[in-house]
Amino acid sequence: MSDPVTTPDKPGRRAHWLMAALIASLAVNLLVAGAAAARWYVGVGPERYARLTQTQLIPRNFFRDLDRARRTELLAVFKAQDKAVREGRRAVKAQVVELADALEAEPYDAARVKAAVEGFTAKSEALFMTGGGAALELIDKLGPEERKLMAQYLRTRDDHGRGKPGDDKKPDAP
């Protein structure tokens, strides 16, 4: 007697689809986790709008403790200066290119290099004056409690904005 021939179960396409779905799910989860980490690292909300020259005196994390309407109102000060800041940055970058050109020039012209460095310094100062003016305008709009809050954030700035005012622990402390 012969035994009935049994065919081995074929691995179905279901297993392939299941594997593809699991890989896709993992990819989406990693993407979401990466986006969350980037948002935490970079900052949240419209305070990211502020430019470097404008936030030298205004801690970005200060805006987190304000309600959305007040944050938008205060950031309008920076938005009003955005065109001037953008033009100032372009001027500073142009001076950097001018310095590079002067350094490569043959024969070397020390006066041209000095002029490029002085131009860079002047453009940078003008850019920071624009940002400083915007910072003063914003500070003038703050109420007493907001000024105190900003002062606390300025004092805790050494931890790179990772803590909140009142946190006495350093970021690496247990």
pLDDT in tens, 130-141: 888 888 888 899
- Whether residues 58 and 142 fall in one domain: yes
- Whether residues 82 and 153 fall in one domain: yes
Whether the bond into 107 is cis, omega within 30 of 0: yes
Query: Is residue 161 very low, low, confident or very high in pLDDT (cuts 50, 70, 90)?
Result: very low
**Rounded distance between C-alpha atoms, residue 32 and residue 25, angstroms:** 11
Q: What percent of the chain has pLDDT over 70?
A: 72
Q: For the chain, how many structural domains are there in total?
A: 2
Query: Is residue 95 very low, low, confident or very high in pLDDT (cuts 50, 70, 90)?
Result: very high
pLDDT score of 6 = 61
Q: What percent of the chain has pLDDT over 90?
A: 28
Whichever domain contains 118, its CATH number is 1.20.120.1490
77 or 165, which is more confident: 77
pLDDT score of 174 = 43
**Rounded distance between C-alpha atoms, residue 117 and residue 92, angstroms:** 10
Residue 1 lies in a domain: no
Beta-carbon contacts of 146 under 8 Å, excluding residues fewer than 6 positions away, are 66
- 102 pLDDT more than 90: yes
**Phi, psi (deg, nearest 5) at residue 58:** -110, 110
128, 53 contact by CB (below 8 A): yes
**Rounded distance between C-alpha atoms, residue 38 and residue 118, angstroms:** 38
44: left (phi over 0), alpha (psi -120 to 50) or beta: beta
- Whether residues 92 and 124 fall in one domain: yes
Residue 167 lies in a domain: no
Query: Is residue 172 very low, low, confident or very high in pLDDT (cuts 50, 70, 90)?
Result: very low
pTM above 0.75, yes or no: no
